[in-house]
Amino acid sequence: VELVLVGDGRAIEPHLPAAAGVEVVHAPEFVPPHAPPVQAARRKDTSLARGLEILAQGKADAFLSPGNTGAVVAAALLRLGRLPGVKRPGLCASLPTLVGKEFLLIDVGATADPKPEHLVQFALMGRLYAQEVLGFSQPTVGLLSIGAEAEKGDKLMRATHALLREEEWFSGNVEPHELLTRRPVDVVVCGGVPGNLTLKALEGGAEAAWTALKGALLGSLRGKLAGWLARPALKALARSLAYDRYNGAPLLGVAGLVLVAHGRSTAGAMEGALQRTFWAAQAEIVQRLGEKLKACSK
C-alpha cells in the first residue's frame, strides 16, 4: 500500500520519519470546517481539490478525508461526477452494536432532500458495500421510520416503503432506539438529514450516559473506588466497541472511491479509516457498484 499525504507540506514534513515511505503532495490551501460546501468545492488549491485530482487522474485508488463533509461531497460530485445511473450519492456510516456486529446507515448527510427512488438506490448500494467490503452474506435492509407499520413516517418514508416492500431482502421499518441494542438489520436506509440527526443523537445519548456516570462516580470516595475497580472492564468494553475501527464512511455513488472520516479522528481512528479505505479499494467497490446499478437500471 502506498500512502500519499495531501496538505501543507511545510506542516507535514517535520512530523514524517525519514523512512516513512509516504509521498507528500503540497496544497497551499485547505477547506475550513464550516466553509459553505459548494464555494469551497470550487477552490482549486485546497488539499481537498488536489487529493481528488490525484484520484481522478488514476494516480490513486482511493481518497480519504477527515475534513468538511459537505465540501467533500460537493467536490467529489464536481470533480468525479456520479456513476452512470446513480441519481444521488449516499454517505454510508458503520456503527458498532451491542450484539457484536456493525450495521450500516445510509445516507448520513450527502443528500438533503432525496426522493423515494434515491433511497432505493441507497439500499442497493449499501447492500453491495455490506456484501463485498464487509463480507455480510445476504444483507437485510430496514427503512428508518418512527413506527413499524408501513403507514408510519413522512411522505418520503411511506413512498419508499411502498417501493421496497416487494424486495425479499427488505425487513420493513426500523426505529432508532433499537439500532444499537437489537441490531434489527444489516443496512438502515434513510434520507441524509434524518440519517445525520439519528447518528448524532445516538452518539449524543451514549455520551450523555457516560458523562453522567463519570460525574456520579467522582462525587464520592466510594464511587471513585468503584471507578478504579471497574477500569479493566471498561477498557475491555472500549476495545470491544472500538469506535476507531468503524471510522471511514464511503460516499457511495460517485465515480471514484471517496471516504469521509470523523472530523475529530485520533491517530487510531485514522488508522481504522485507512483500513476500511484499503478494504473498499481491494474489493473494487466502485466498479462493482457501477456494474450493479447498470444491471438494475436496465
Which residues would be at the binding site for its own copies (CB under 8 A)? 34, 36, 70, 97-98, 109, 112-113, 144, 146-149, 151-155, 157, 175-181, 191-194, 196-213, 215-217, 219-220, 222-223, 225-230, 232-234, 236-237, 241
Q: Shortest gap between Cβ of 191 and its own copies (angstroms)? A: 7
Q: Tell me whether residue 179 or residue 251 sits nearer to its own copies (CB atom).
A: 179
Q: Shortest gap between Cβ of 262 and its own copies (angstroms)? A: 12
- Choose among 135, 157, 173: nearest CA to 276: 135
Q: Shortest gap between Cβ of 91 and its own copies (angstroms)? A: 12
Q: Shortest gap between Cβ of 220 and its own copies (angstroms)? A: 6
Question: What does the DSSP 8-state code read for residue 182?
Answer: T
**Cα–Cα distance for residue pair 181/53, rounded to 1 Å:** 41
Q: Tell me whether residue 22 or residue 218 sits nearer to its own copies (CB atom).
A: 218
Q: Tell me whether residue 18 or residue 233 sits nearer to its own copies (CB atom).
A: 233
**Cα–Cα distance for residue pair 274/248, rounded to 1 Å:** 7
Residue 102, SS3 per DSSP? coil
Q: Tell me whether residue 23 or residue 207 sits nearer to its own copies (CB atom).
A: 207
Q: Tell me whether residue 9 or residue 219 sits nearer to its own copies (CB atom).
A: 219
- Choose among 146, 150, 147, 152: nearest CA to 162: 150
Continuous H helices in the chain: 9-12, 37-42, 47-56, 69-79, 116-132, 155-164, 192-218, 221-241, 267-282, 285-297
Asked whether 191 and 106 are in contact (CB, 8 A), the reply is: no
Q: Shortest gap between Cβ of 233 and its own copies (angstroms)? A: 4
